Amino acid sequence: MVLRYAGLYGEFLRQRLKVLLEYRINFLVGALSTLVMQGASVLAIWVVMRQVPDLNGWTLAEIWLIYGLLTLSKSINHMFADNLWTLGESYVRTGMFDRFLVRPIDPLFHLLADRFCHDGIGDLIIGLILVFAAAPGVAIAWTVPKVLYLIVAVISGGVIFIALNLITGVSAFWVMDSVPVIRVVFETHEFAKFPLAIYPQAIGILLTWLIPYGFASFVPAAYLLDRGISPAMAWAAPFVAAVLFTIAYRAWLFGLRHYSGTGS
Amino acid sequence: MIAAVRRQASIYFSFAAMAPKMMLAYSIWVWMEFFVQSMGLVIFVAFWTAVYADQATIGGLDLDQTLKYIILARIFAPLAMNTNMVFRFGTMLREGQIGIELLRPVDFQAANYSVSIAFILTDLVMQIPLAIVGWLLYRFQLPTDPWVWTAFIISALLGNAYVFFFDWILGCAAFFITETWGLSVLRFAIAGFFSGALIPLAMMPDWLRVIATVLPFSQALYVPVGLLSGILPVSDAPTIWLGQIAGILVLGFLSRQVFRLSVRKVTVQGG
């Protein structure tokens, strides 16, 4: 079954690339645009941080690590699950969602595989640049377990992003246009670009336990840097991601049961 | 003569009147934008407060000046960010709407400028709740000198027109590449940094400040907000206006020439 879905994903991806390459310049500019978008924020932080010794005790390299981990997690969501944003506008409202229900594959898989988002490549590149740029400047002994943890943390972060977008995106089955609902929750990830310690405590709790973007950035970075995060807390990331995705998938199934086509 | 001017004004006013209706049609979007912007404000205030924890000044600005500038820059960001001509050109081309637009017996550029101004004014009205949140978070004092407000309003209008003509030239790329989503995101990212929406130009190293000065975006945001927040002396206003007017004349002329040449490549899609 996994192989069948992997093969199907490859086929969807091939078709998507054909569509994207129809407008070649837009394809290239689109991939570049996210790079520049993230680059602008990174440049702004560099401009400020080069003039101060640290941010609440966090050096520039440590902030790169936090920012880079978050951007890598975000890139997974951006590349492979961006279609959750358009569920209401492009599928439910137009009636196009009906075709997912009559095909012999999982509708959620079909929705996600229907559009690989090349804009996310820019996020991936910036995330990698930041983590590699941070590595020599931070006090981390890079052992195999730590590198493995980093990979697990990034994938867990990506799943957390997808799960939160899925939970909010399901609202499309009732309100048609789900973008505002998704965005209100999604934009809180902006907090997680910096050490949570710079915010009021309530925001730190919110970003760790309610909307857990903290597990995609601050928690793994602080653990790797040995800054007060216990191994148990750090390794909770994959479990948080799994629990959140289970909740999200149940919400999706609940939404599916209440879906009624718009007709045509 | 007066009747003809009135008639023309009423035509372009009709175009402009569509903008608030479009923007306010879905109230959930208005509230979402308010929430997202307010959250951004909280992040900015927390970030800058942490930055200044052990530092009295950065780039010659103290914490009060920086926070005041940053909050005002977020409130007035639509001046530099929202002319959106690149995206609009792309949409008109993709959906085939460009055929109808070009056939209308009005000046295409003037009609789009009316719509752009209306979008920005509507956006600024929608920023009022954000201004209240900003004031509650950080009780900054706005200037009481009417000359400062006059300098701000004139430089904001001129700076926005400058950016509009720049965007018009950029938007003409749509006639060649048809799909402009990527280009509009790219423009948004560059404008976000070089307009001074993220950090005041005074904090940038020289090489970045030169680029920011060459590009038009700072004229629509950093300059007017700099005047309003006191970063730029109001006595500089006449020199600033002259520079902006020169930019408008050059880019205004160029934009019409570029459009005249580019529109020959138009493809009206659909049927």
The per-residue pLDDT for range A152-193, each reduced to its tens digit, is 999 999 999 999 999 999 999 988 778 889 998 999 999 999
Please answer whether residues B152 and B72 qualify as being in contact, where contact means their C-beta atoms are separated by less than 8 angstroms. Answer: no
Query: Residue A264 falls within a domain, yes or no?
Result: no
On average, the pLDDT of chain B sits at: 88
Closest Cα to residue B196, out of B224, B218, B215? B218
pLDDT > 90: percent of chain B: 48
Give the per-residue pLDDT at B77. 92
Contacts with B178 from chain A: Cβ below 8 Å: 23, 26
pLDDT of B113 higher than 90: yes
Angle at B143 between CA B248 and CA B221, to 5 degrees: 30
In the A/B pair of chains, how many CB contacts fall below 8 A?
A: 118
Tell me the pLDDT tens digit for each residue of B39-77: 888 888 889 999 998 888 998 899 999 999 999 999 999
Low-confidence ranges of chain A (pLDDT < 70): 263-264
pLDDT of B270 higher than 70: no
The values of phi and psi at residue B207, to 5°, are -65, -35
Give the per-residue pLDDT at A263. 62
Query: Residue A262 falls within a domain, yes or no?
Result: no
Distance of CA B42 to the CA centre of its chain: 22
B4 band by pLDDT with thresholds 50, 70 and 90? confident
Chain B residue closest in CA terms to A60: B51
Domain that holds residue A58: 2-257
Give the per-residue pLDDT at A43. 93
Torsion sign over Cα A191, A196, A197, A202:
positive
Query: Residue A225 falls within a domain, yes or no?
Result: yes
Contacts with A54 from chain B: Cβ below 8 Å: 54
Chain B residue closest in CA terms to A27: B182
Query: Residue A88 falls within a domain, yes or no?
Result: yes
pTM over cut 0.95: no
Picking from B31, B39, B192, the nearest residue to A40 by CB comes out as B192
Tell me the pLDDT tens digit for each residue of B205-247: 999 999 999 999 999 999 999 999 999 999 999 999 999 999 9
Give the per-residue pLDDT at B83. 67
Would the CB atoms of B208 and A47 count as touching at under 8 Å?
A: yes
Residue B152 CA to residue B141 CA, distance in Å, equals 16
Q: Which of B27, B66, B185 has the highest number of chain A CBs within 10 A, making it the mutation to test binding with A? A: B185
Would the CB atoms of B183 and A190 count as touching at under 8 Å?
A: no
Residues of chain B contacting A, Cβ within 8 Å: 26, 28-29, 31-32, 35-36, 39-40, 42-43, 46-47, 49-51, 53-55, 58-59, 176-183, 185-186, 188-190, 192-193, 198-199, 203-205, 208
B57 beta partners = B62
How many domains are contained in chain A?
Answer: 1
Smallest CA–CA distance, residue B3 to chain A, in Å, is 45
Query: Residue A263 falls within a domain, yes or no?
Result: no
Query: Residue A78 falls within a domain, yes or no?
Result: yes
B194 band by pLDDT with thresholds 50, 70 and 90? very high
Contacts with A40 from chain B: Cβ below 8 Å: 189-190, 192-193, 198
Query: Residue A190 falls within a domain, yes or no?
Result: yes
pLDDT of B87 higher than 60: yes
The question of ipTM being above 0.90 is answered as no
